[in-house]
Structure 1
Amino acid sequence: MARLPLVALLAAVAFAACAPAGAEALRPYTVVGDAIPQPLTGTKGDATRGRALIVERSSTCILCHSGPFPEQAFQGDLAPSLTGSGARWSEGQLRLRLVDAAHLNAATIMPSYYRVDGLTRVGTLWRDKPILSAEQIEDIVAYLVTLRN
């Protein structure tokens, strides 16, 4: 259990490193079971942009996750590897994990990247703003579903 304070600290640092997506209004979505089946934007994202977002340190993904990113020397080990995510989860399941991981696990250290309500201890600059835009969520989902091994 000594690792829990370190995990919480790293999650806070990762969250603080993010730049909020801006003042765009959140698009409505529907959770069905353990997934958000429909894209937030009404269209699928771009996998190339999604990969670029994942390996960009400001998006925080690889601060906690590792994956098939040989160009990144330092990858996280606090969360599951992203390798094989497309084989483990459906597009809708991946979308819910990005939008609001706490919906599935209230004790998760993963930030809710597209939720603004009901959050506590949120820095002033990030209040009422999603961390990622709907387009960024869809781009990341589009890339993650390609990771089958």
Structure 2
Amino acid sequence: MKLPRELQRFPDPTLLVTTDEERANFWLAGGDSLETLDGIAIAPELKSDREGAFTSVDGSRVAGPSADRHDTPRKEKFTKQVAERIATLIREGHATGVRIASLPEILHRIEAHLPEDVKKKVLGTTPKDLMKMNEVDVVKVLIS
């Protein structure tokens, strides 16, 4: 896709990454174009509505110790996959730098998984969920 003139601020190929807790999109911006490269999605963990909860005698629902399972292992796996994909795209020469937008917790985890040589290529980070925005709006936020 051709970028509007006011958004053509990428003289060198730049990887743009947006994520939420389950999906990631990868774009390549360079010159006047924006190209969709890749995407990662993991299946959400499906839990039964009744899992770990019981109804007390007065009719209220009370959570048991297993009701609020910690989501850390799933997030770690996902953020590691995202970081590995960023490293691969940078090392293969698709881009000279990367800009990442994600929820603050996910962004922190991605940065923690990035290799040192790739961390040096991070041009900017945005601690926001931009996954519901279209490509042009994502670029506007990432260059501001």
Same fold (TM over 0.5): no
Q: TM-score, normalised by structure 2?
A: 0.29
Higher-Rg member (1/2) = 2
Q: TM-score, normalised by structure 1?
A: 0.29
